[in-house]
Structure 1
């Protein structure tokens, strides 16, 4: 059971926990939708990154949506997932050498989107973990 009661605002359990603050929910949801859709990076790649992050960020709700599916990876997805794994290990203190490897496969626009996606997804998953959002 979550640490606080769900509000009546929102469609998912996550949204109803943010729904106590409608302006926050609206902004968070809008940014989430922007980041989830295909932009510079495909939504499929980002879903594999999200699944990778979920395994270590402590949100049971997020973990329940599935583990990464390596059989679905292409080279770009493998690099993105590897970058997410490094992020998880070093908590953001990513060595320059890792960024140099990333630049071999991604444009600067893609790297910016990937980093924003990882940061936002981690924040979402940390929120779920703090609130004890269950699957």
Structure 2
């Protein structure tokens, strides 16, 4: 059972928890859609990042969706997951050298998008855990 009751607003359990504040739910969902769909990084890369964050952040709701892949060949995805690994260890105090590694493969727009996606996804996963959201 979730920490608070589900509201009548929203389609998913996550949205219904945010739905006690309809405007927050609406804007949160809109930002999530923008980050997931209309940017320069592939959906596949973002899904690998989301999965790695779910397992690193301990979000049971998100972890239930899939296990981290072990046979990734795409260089961008490998480097993005390396970045996630550093983030999960040190939080926002990412060493400058980590960004230098990213710059070998990503342009600045992509690095900005990756960082925004990591922060937004982490916030979503923290909220889900805080609210005891389960699969």
Residue 68 of structure 1, CA deviation:
1.8
Q: CA RMSD in A?
A: 1.0
CA distance in 2, matches of 1:56, 1:120: 15
Residue 117 of structure 1, CA deviation:
0.2
CA distance in 2, matches of 1:19, 1:5: 10
**Corresponding position: 1:40 with 2:26:** no
Contiguous gaps of at least 5 residues in structure 1: none
Q: Which residue of 2 aligns with 1:74?
A: 74
Give the total of aligned pairs.
Answer: 135
CA distance in 1, matches of 2:20, 2:56: 27
SS at match of 1:119: helix
The answer on whether the counterparts of 2:9 and 2:19 sit within 8 Å (CA) in structure 1 is: yes
Residue 114 of structure 1, CA deviation:
0.2
**Corresponding position: 1:94 with 2:63:** no
Residue 58 of structure 1, CA deviation:
2.5
**Superposed CA offset, 1:4-37 (max 9, x none):** 1101111111011001100000000000000011
Q: Which residue of 1 aligns with 2:29?
A: 29
SS at match of 2:133: coil
Give TM-score scaled by structure 1 length: 0.96
